[in-house]
């Protein structure tokens, strides 16, 4: 289970990956080294979000306030993989909106790799 935890500054909000079309830019989760190394188990799950109508976009938008948590379960296919590389593209807004990118690297504990070897 990969878990992203974020703290959002007061007055700002971060848009969910489930933000509807026609609204602000949704959170995008990109797994850089997935091919041949691991599979995603379902879609990433989000912690507590807020939904509110936006007069500018004329849609109900979904966003995080104060904090954000996203979890993605994976199944390791390659026992030699030592890390998972992820990029988050996202938009945060207050009075104005800012588009950002953040890179993450999750280190895969060798215990997990040994479990994969035993299952094969």
Sign of CA dihedral 83, 14, 46, 18: negative
What pLDDT, in 10s, does the model give residues 14-36?
A: 999 998 888 889 999 999 999 99
Residues ≥6 apart with Cβ < 8 Å to 64: 6, 8, 13, 14, 15, 16, 46, 47, 48, 49, 50
DSSP secondary structure string for all residues of 3-70: EEEEE--TT-EEE-TTPPTTSSPPPEEEETT-TTTEEEEEEEEE-S-EEEEETTTTEEEEEEESEEEE
* Overall pTM surpassing 0.85 (yes/no): no
What pLDDT, in 10s, does the model give residues 59-108?
A: 999 999 999 999 999 999 998 999 999 999 999 999 888 999 999 999 99
């Amino acid at each position: 289970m990969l878990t992203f935890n974020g703290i959002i500054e007061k007055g700002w909000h971060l848009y969910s990956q489930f933000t509807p079309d026609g609204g602000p830019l949704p959170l995008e989760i990109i797994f850089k080294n997935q091919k041949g190394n691991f599979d995603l188990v379902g879609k990433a799950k989000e912690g507590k979000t807020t939904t509110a109508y936006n007069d500018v976009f004329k849609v109900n938008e979904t966003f995080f306030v104060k904090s954000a948590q996203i979890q993605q379960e994976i199944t390791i296919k390659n026992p030699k993989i030592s890390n998972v590389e992820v990029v988050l593209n996202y938009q945060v807004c207050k009075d104005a909106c800012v588009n950002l990118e953040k890179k993450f690297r999750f280190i895969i504990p060798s215990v997990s790799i040994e479990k994969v070897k035993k299952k094969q």
